[in-house]
Structure 1
Amino acid sequence: MLKILRFVFTVITFLIASYGLFTEDFTFGSFMIFFLALTMLVMGLEEFKKGHKGMGCLLIAVFLFSFFVSIKGFLLS
């Protein structure tokens, strides 16, 4: 289940980033960061399941920071 979620969030992030890169329209940047944050959350949960607590904590911290940045981006847009 987590692999599927990671794949879906990664593809969505890649598509939004590619759209912004090719069209030079960065209005969806907050959505890209939001889906990137969800990818980091899923990866952190996978690392916790593997028993790698250090990497899991780091990925959860990256998730929290990215989530905060995306929310700020939604509010300021």
Structure 2
Amino acid sequence: MLKFLQIILSITVISLAGYGLITEDFKFQPYMMLFLGLTMLVMGLREFQKGQKGYGWLSIVVFIFILFVSIKSFLLE
């Protein structure tokens, strides 16, 4: 289930990033950052399931940072 969710979120992030690069319209960048953060959260949870706590905690910390940046981007719009 987590692997499927990670694939869906990753495709969403790549699509939004590709759209921004091709059209040079960056209005969806905060959403891309939010989905990237959720992808990192899912990756961290998968690492915890595998028993690799170091990478799991690293992914969780990156998720918190990206979430902070995403919220900051939403507030600046």
Smaller-chain TM-score range? over 0.9
- Counting aligned pairs with the same residue, the percent is 57
1:18-76 deviations in whole A, cap 9, x for unaligned? 00000000111100000000000000000000000000000000000000100110111
Equivalent in the alignment of 1:57:
57
Count of paired positions: 77
Structure 2: gaps spanning 5 or more residues: none
Equivalent in the alignment of 1:31:
31
- Deviating above 3 A after TM superposition, structure 1's stretches of 4 or more consecutive aligned residues are none
Structure 1: gaps spanning 5 or more residues: none
The yes-or-no answer on 1:70 pairing with 2:70 is yes
Equivalent in the alignment of 1:47:
47
Q: State how far apart, in whole Å, the 2-side matches of 1:5 and 1:69 are.
A: 22
Q: State how far apart, in whole Å, the 2-side matches of 1:5 and 1:75 are.
A: 27
Equivalent in the alignment of 2:2:
2
Q: State how far apart, in whole Å, the 2-side matches of 1:3 and 1:74 are.
A: 28
Equivalent in the alignment of 1:15:
15
Q: State how far apart, in whole Å, the 1-side matches of 2:48 and 2:68 are.
A: 22
Superposition TM-score, scaled by structure 1 size: 0.98
Cα-Cα RMSD: 0.4
Q: State how far apart, in whole Å, the 1-side matches of 2:4 and 2:38 are.
A: 12
